[in-house]
Chains A and B, each alone.
Chain A
């Protein structure tokens, strides 16, 4: 483990926290409608949108209507992206004249981008027209992120309000977050990326003469920077190119790599401050952030350790993989030379700790235990730090679980932030917590049992099992990163993973809104000496404990049969 790798990670974390704080407070103001922009022009855009859409911005709704709004918006979005892919051949901005995308792949991709997953069964540069990329995928990158933040906002309002029948207006939250948070941030970041060499054009692909053999090579072109910015900021992760952030046009140098890491963490961290601000106690936000950060740092360091250690089999055959003054050492298979082990392992941890799923390295080529880290980070339910919005609401669900058991242990009806956690809340919490284990484990079980599932595996054995488990963990938890090694652009995987992504998103999101509604309606109990404080180290331990409880106990057997046994086999071959 190198000092440089650790410093890099802590620097990203620190910078995202420093910037996340004011941003979080700003988001709180946006959600409260207090950050109405001074400029008449922008104000009119918001009003104009409401008028066109027929939204009564003054009217707040209960949780059921809020959920209907989210579902309606997502279904329409899915149909739109599906149609765009199927019809791209006859639509403009298609310089390479790509044909219609297959129905199963279109379904998979549409669901993938609407659910903020951005699992990519297709290769962007050889499948999607510029129009599909911009009007379909990039738009969903914005609005699926905004949907996540809106749902998180609804849950926070559930805590912040009392004896209230409403939790906000989905259309207003969606519009404000997109207009006043995501668009400005993405615009700034896109410009910064362009300055570093990320491309942004509508050109046809370029034929160039390759340097070496004199053969020709096709260089794909397109509006990359604009999509790249929101890909990271919205924890989407869907790359313009198949190689994603390993591609030099997406992520040309170490500076853009750093900016991308920062951009991924920025909003999920900021939202913990939004939470603290909106519930009126900044310490509550810090506690949640601390829980997320500790989980992240611990698992990230495991990945760095195993990647830096490299493959013991290499050492046995005489290859030197140790770090020295002349070489960084470690497991360089599948990594970009310009990033190296440290920055790659960090990217792996960041992209899977959040539900981003962008990659700058091949996860399939990591050491077994190094590869276990991203898988486990996803299986924890994408809560440290998780997707924009979804990470926070996921973590708060775990907080409810932890506080419930802890509350019983101190002899009181459990309460969190003054809200008593009762049977209905526990029912919804249970439903939300059951969602991803169900999707991931059942999905994997089906895939390893049917021929269509087994056929796509490149490396049969424990590693092949990891590849399938990874795919369903990624889809079910709306991460979207791929382990690779699994040919997933088949009708079976496109359909199965599409269903997994849909369930993984909405099976959690709807009970979360139900909890928001139930909490908002409750009275707020005052704090007494008998109240369990939820801002101290004890609560942080509790939070981490309940995340690990569900995550570890659910996936330990499956992980034992995948990466764990693989690592034992590898280190056993002495």
Chain B
């Protein structure tokens, strides 16, 4: 499945959005958006006024009423269109997800230990705690936990990542997702969800917006928009008695027409933001999808924009997953070459990335690979915490400093003081020392370095400018952690972290009023994930982690949190900016409509017609047309979102106020004048 960004206006999507905007004329659909409902009622009222005016006895000339009425309907349709388009884009993504829910047959085991006796059951009938087997070539029928076996699984359907991953029972790689394919071997899976609740089902529900609930800020903004609408309703409705009174006492002209008042009302209420509000929300979720993040709610995405503290695991997030040999530091009386030679010998059979990196580093000393005959390899064991090789009676070992110390002391020797000192220096640098011994002689130290990911420092600096504090979580000791923290540019670190300490750290920050985000994948992360305000679980992680989090990153890329934060902020910024723009527009609309509406009673008010609009009806119509067209012009902005730049709050506000506030004041003056020129140009 491809999740590359879709073009904004795909012809097929446009067609279905057009149909959708007509379907949304249903009053029940309109009622959900109070601002647009007012426009909707206005459109109906003006239509009735038009019918009434057909015999020439109407509120205003019937051509004028028709014009206003038509454009009010168009305004409603434009807002519907924006929403339908955003929904359509989401549905298109959901459709490609639904492709995963093919008619899969599950091989259900009656007894977990007898994987060869199974019966076929449609995947849709699987229940929690059913046990199924998936063999090479099978599609895993539903989400579950591997309870037996190990297999390589192609999860590209979910993650877009083509490299297969290993899924095995026990540990942090035991969870499997329905719809993914077993490439080799077999696994026995215990199903963990009921039909309709699988991961893919949740994704589909999410993107389809079927269960889309308004986010807290959206609710608060809607309240404000309703209040503004009521204020303008008061301001325009009361104009009618005011105008009647004016006519009574001046004995001049006619009271303002109902059509003009409805036009004024629709122009003043925040239709721009009202019409685009739900589209912005849907588009935000959509952008998360494109980033391969599944959020369980819009609330979580929005909260991401507020995050103050980011907890990041060191390994895999800040540093590359593996340490690499960086230097050989020999003991006194030993040459670097000798040390390198012994280290290479001890690492020949070591297939770990660390071991490989030692061999690679040794090559620089012209030490060629040698035949491995008459060598006995001693693999790493949790007991000895050393690995190495036996050549005859000669024992070459490498291992953690205290392991080697025990080893040589058992052979009656001691670790020389200069080596002890080197070990300390290396640790202080944030590296890991490995000590090499040849029989009882300590040859020196291999420095294994954590490699900080390229570009990560810049991202942290960016976060700092956003006002987000980064905290590195690591199991390393404080010395090592401090050195890496400094190199990576994080603000703080938690060394020798245990799950309890993580949980405590989150609670402490929350008690100070901070919002905490974290990423995690292991089962032991689950409590902390559940406690954090924004918790992104890696898709490669355990089921427990995924359930504790409120987002799942399909790419299992922990730095994705930064994108999540940006998307959350973008959603809010787009709403705020369009609200400002919408309200700022009102100034020009007043200048267009007020002189026109009261032209017959108070011709003096034409002094306020600073745009020099041609005549009262073209002035009112131009304002209404501008009001409708601006919705369509802003659809791309609503769908793409206002660009977030990691500047300070004040700078960002100043910039957005300038663009959307000042711009919102100026643009309608130009727009309305232009439309007026076109209208009167056509008419004249």
Contacts and interface: CB of A to CB of B under 8 A. Distances in A.
B231 A550 contact: yes
Contacts of A542: 653
Contact of A421 (B220, B235, B579, B580): B220
A572 B649 contact: no
B555 to A, nearest CB: 23
A406 B579 CA distance: 10
Contacts of A454: 245
Nearest to A441: B238
Contacts of B264: 557
B220 A533 contact: no
A538 B246 contact: no
B334 interface: no
Contacts of B226: 430
A464 B220 CA distance: 40
A460 B512 contact: no
A212 interface: no
A448 interface: yes
B605 to A, nearest CB: 6
A454 B226 CA distance: 33
Given A410-B656, A554-B234, A555-B235, A430 B598 contact: no
A568 B607 contact: yes
A565 B603 CA distance: 9
B568 interface: yes
B420 to A, nearest CB: 43
A87 interface: no
Contacts of A554: 231-232, 234-235
B231 A412 contact: no
B241 A410 contact: no
Interface in B493-549: 511-515
A51 interface: no
B567 to A, nearest CB: 10
A442 B233 CA distance: 11
Interface in A525-559: 525-526, 528-533, 536, 538, 541-542, 545, 549-550, 553-558
A569 interface: yes
B375 interface: no
Given A409-B657, A418-B513, A561 B223 contact: no
Chain B contact residues, majority secondary structure? helix
A290 B244 CA distance: 41
B238 A413 contact: no
A565 B608 CA distance: 10
Contacts of B244: 448-449
A464 B226 CA distance: 33
A528 B220 contact: no
A273 interface: no
Contacts of B515: 525
B653 A538 contact: yes
Nearest to B590: A556
A74 interface: no
B31 interface: no
A427 interface: yes
Contacts of B246: 462, 465, 561
B654 interface: yes
Q: How large is the interface on B (under 10, 10 to 19, 20 to 34, 35 or more residues)?
A: 35 or more
Given A411-B570, A444-B242, A557 B594 contact: yes
Interface in B204-227: 216-217, 219-221, 223-224, 226-227
Interface string A402-420: 0011111111111000100
B306 interface: yes
A406 B249 CA distance: 44
B586 A438 contact: no
A427 B223 contact: yes
B308 interface: yes
A529 B572 contact: no
A17 B513 CA distance: 35
B469 interface: yes
Given A430-B224, A434-B227, A460 B249 contact: yes
Contacts of B573: 408-411
Contacts of B568: 411
A561 B302 contact: no
B598 A413 contact: no
Contacts of B580: 405, 409
B569 A411 contact: yes
Interface string B556-573: 000000000000111111
Nearest to B659: A409
Contacts of A421: 220
B666 interface: no
B527 to A, nearest CB: 21
Contacts of A564: 605, 608
A268 interface: no
B467 A530 contact: yes
B159 interface: no
B465 interface: yes
Contacts of B654: 538
A413 B234 contact: no
Interface string B464-477: 11111100000000
B556 to A, nearest CB: 26
Nearest to B305: A411
A449 to B, nearest CB: 5
A323 interface: no
Contacts of B223: 423, 426-427, 430
Chain B CB count within 10 A is highest, among A421, A538, A550, A561, for: A561
B295 interface: no
Contact of B235 (A437, A465, A545): A437
B644 to A, nearest CB: 6
Contacts of A305: none
A553 B644 contact: no
A367 B226 CA distance: 37
Interface string B221-261: 10110110011101111111111111001100000000000
Given A437-B235, A445-B238, A530-B649, A565 B605 contact: yes
Nearest to B243: A561
B239 A553 contact: no
B268 interface: yes
B73 interface: no
Contacts of B576: 405-411
B216 to A, nearest CB: 6
B346 interface: no
A475 to B, nearest CB: 16
A441 B234 contact: yes
A565 B236 CA distance: 18
A497 to B, nearest CB: 17
A410 B468 contact: no
B243 to A, nearest CB: 7
Contacts of A446: 241
Contact of A406 (B242, B308, B465, B653): B653
27 contacts: A405-B576, A409-B580, A409-B656, A411-B568, A411-B652, A412-B649, A413-B305, A423-B220, A426-B221, A433-B227, A437-B235, A444-B242, A465-B245, A528-B469, A529-B466, A529-B649, A530-B467, A530-B649, A533-B650, A553-B232, A553-B586, A556-B590, A558-B239, A560-B598, A561-B239, A564-B608, A568-B605
Cβ-closest 4 pairs across A and B: A530-B467, A408-B576, A411-B569, A430-B227
Given A425-B220, A448-B242, 4 more contacts: A407-B576, A409-B580, A441-B238, A554-B234
Interface of B: 216-217, 219-221, 223-224, 226-227, 230-232, 234-246, 249-250, 264, 268, 302-303, 305-306, 308, 464-469, 511-515, 568-573, 575-577, 579-580, 583, 586, 590, 594, 598, 602, 604-605, 607-608, 644, 648-650, 652-654, 656-657, 660-661
Interface of A: 162, 401, 404-414, 418, 421-423, 425-427, 429-431, 433-434, 437-438, 441-442, 444-446, 448-449, 454, 460-462, 464-465, 523-526, 528-533, 536, 538, 541-542, 545, 549-550, 553-558, 560-561, 564-565, 568-569, 572
